[in-house]
Amino acid sequence: MPNEGKDFGPIVQKAVADALGIDIEEAVPEATLLGDLDAESIDLLDVLFRIEKASDVKIKVSDIAEVLQGGIPDEEFADEDDIINEVGLAQLKRSLPHIDVQELAGKLTADEVLTLFTVQSLTDLVTERAALTAASA
């Protein structure tokens, strides 16, 4: 099991830096991909491809959305104006412990949720997927 116990931080940081054409020092764990690092959705696909190529761990954008939303249906995650509600914010806090729920309450829209995803969030997801793959092998 080649990925068991592996530190995926450097792999994710290199994938982010290479895909975005930035210095690896800029791909710090707390940097948000779509906010701080100015990635676009096509860049995110490139990052995920590079991670898979370097680690054999496959992550899809839909996997990220699933982690963020935690299986909560859209109508229970946000209100009719697409503002993330209390249930949605509680789920986001579980999946993204770094966020300030009180600061986001009543303001965060569904379209902005992905902008909260950090390099560390991606590293954690890759690590979790690698562990799941190793456990099922």
pLDDT tens digits, one per residue of 31-52: 999 999 999 989 999 999 999 9
- The per-residue pLDDT for 136 is 77
Residues 118-122: what's their mean pLDDT? 97
- What is the distance between the alpha carbons of residues 33 and 43, in angstroms, rounded to a whole number? 9
Give Cβ neighbours of residue 80 (< 8 Å, ≥ 6 apart): none
- The per-residue pLDDT for 89 is 97
Residues 16-44: what's their mean pLDDT? 96
Residue 130 pLDDT greater than 60, yes or no: yes
- What is the distance between the alpha carbons of residues 133 and 51, in angstroms, rounded to a whole number? 15
Residue 82 token pair: 């697409």
Residue type, 135: A
Instruction: Quickly state the pLDDT bin for 1 (edges 50, 70, 90).
Output: very low
- What is the distance between the alpha carbons of residues 11 and 124, in angstroms, rounded to a whole number? 12
User: Alpha carbon of 135 to those of 1, 4, 78, 126, 128: distances in Å?
Assistant: 9, 9, 34, 14, 11
The phi and psi torsions of 3 (rounded to 5 degrees) equal -95, -5
